[in-house]
Structure 1
């Protein structure tokens, strides 16, 4: 199934065009030949047969996480199709641009726009974190936030999300995106140093994502051993926003905000026009 454009997948999804490509997945726009609806089909790919089980587990996890969730920032997910060595998630089609591309094309966000985006992100995470058991997303970054034409946002790619469990001591694998993920998501080459990551890993990701959206730089690439306040000339924004980002991104999870409601209350003080 090397070229599936203009072909039908799963007996009902006519592939219209390629709309996205990542490290392990390709996303297509498709039309349901039964009801005429437009969907996104996310096809996982690998050249290593050993990765087949891991990729399938990631897709099944994404399906399990999202199938019963209802929140405006969460995409609807409908089905998992398995065809030979190919796996497809059938998802809601989202017409928009991810915020990594947005920053690349249009520049960093104004504080006013940042507030609108992050209020929605925090609302979505509060919903996920309030479930029983809580869902920890673990992969917040600008590329995983889609900005729709009407200003709404959608979170995508729940492939490494997990349900928080108190009966385990550590995560099995170091997962997350370098430059955005919390330090506790990574261990050394032998896996030592991993934590049983909880909702505070997502809070760290909120901080690093806000930093990128205001600077176009990854937080960890400039943080080093210096305080964020050392970058006032580089990071030209309000003192309040720097303070929020710094509290989100404390290395010790106990020193961060402890819930997204706390961040949301702080963000609501940032209704400032312009940069």
Structure 2
């Protein structure tokens, strides 16, 4: 079946326009005709070289994992549907842009902006880990920046904590540049792996490039396993958080509570700290996907 604007999926979701595409799916802006609300509809695609026979089960698995995570910074999943030979996941529509697109267009974030983004993503990860779920694909492209909210999206390759990281193909799923060393070695997925990826994401947010460079995925993975990341030049007070999260050995890595305390310290000592409160209603705005607002907190 050919899907395009106007197509009705599962007798309920009207596709409006395509808003994104990744290795595992195409995301559409859609309308839930039954409830009269806008949603994001993710059409699942088989990985390169794979068949589509397991898409229904994979879609249900992704939806179940994402639905376990109840947190304002985790994208909400509403439904899993099958329509003809296609599987779909219906999610909340987040009115924002990916962090990588924002940085490419407007330049790196300030340390304070990145700390605020990091705190919200960390909150989503802590909720996921408490539910026994490891995201396994934390990267700038999966961090959505909205007006006053940051959302971690795409639980497509999430796993239960302790589940082996290597599928039958022997290829570690996820973006190589944001894959923790232990996962690159084929060790089980653990919550600390997501924290390493968060550190690499924060590095990108303030530096504008990946912490490990190389001509291709294999070279990047080798660098992660044997080398040191590029030293951050613009991280300022955020540098200890980034380096602490990206330590090669799990036991030496910052824990989630330790990282949260350090991120709050970055906010508390940055200009404009009077607007920051752990309990009050007024907090710094997340960086918006527009030039002047993007630069406001610097």
Shift of 1:54: 4.9
Once residues 267 and 115 of structure 1 are traced to their aligned partners in structure 2, the CA distance between those partners, rounded to angstroms, is: 5
Shift of 1:262: 1.0
Name stretches of at least 5 consecutive residues in structure 1 with no aligned partner: 187-192
* CA distances 1:177-231 after superposition (whole Å, capped 9, x unpaired): 1111102222xxxxxx411121110110111000000111111218956655x73
Distance 1:251 1:92, change over 3 A: same
Shift of 1:53: 3.9
Q: 1:243 aligns with which of 235, 240, 243?
A: 240
Normalization by structure 1: what TM-score?
A: 0.86
Aligned twin of 2:293: none
Shift of 1:49: 7.7
Q: 1:263 aligns with which of 259, 278, 283?
A: 259
Q: 2:183 aligns with which of 182, 185, 189?
A: 185
Normalization by structure 2: what TM-score?
A: 0.79
Aligned twin of 1:59: 59
DSSP-derived class of the 2:50 partner: helix
Aligned twin of 2:285: none
* CA distances 1:126-184 after superposition (whole Å, capped 9, x unpaired): 122223xx2111111111011112x201111101111114xx6x434222211111022
DSSP-derived class of the 2:154 partner: coil
Does the 8 Å contact 2:18/2:28 carry over to 1? yes
DSSP-derived class of the 2:120 partner: helix
Aligned twin of 2:137: 139
Aligned twin of 1:171: 165
Distance 1:47 1:262, change over 3 A: closer
Once residues 249 and 202 of structure 1 are traced to their aligned partners in structure 2, the CA distance between those partners, rounded to angstroms, is: 10
Q: How does 1:36-185 map to 2 (within 5 A)?
A: 36-46=36-46, 50-131=50-131, 134-149=132-147, 151-165=148-162, 170-173=164-167, 174-185=172-183
Shift of 1:55: 3.9
| C-alpha RMSD of matched pairs (Å) | 2.2
Name stretches of at least 5 consecutive residues in structure 2 with no aligned partner: 215-219, 272-296
Once residues 68 and 135 of structure 1 are traced to their aligned partners in structure 2, the CA distance between those partners, rounded to angstroms, is: 8
Once residues 231 and 76 of structure 2 are traced to their aligned partners in structure 1, the CA distance between those partners, rounded to angstroms, is: 40
Does the 8 Å contact 1:176/1:185 carry over to 2? no
DSSP-derived class of the 1:265 partner: helix
Once residues 113 and 50 of structure 2 are traced to their aligned partners in structure 1, the CA distance between those partners, rounded to angstroms, is: 43
Distance 1:53 1:195, change over 3 A: farther
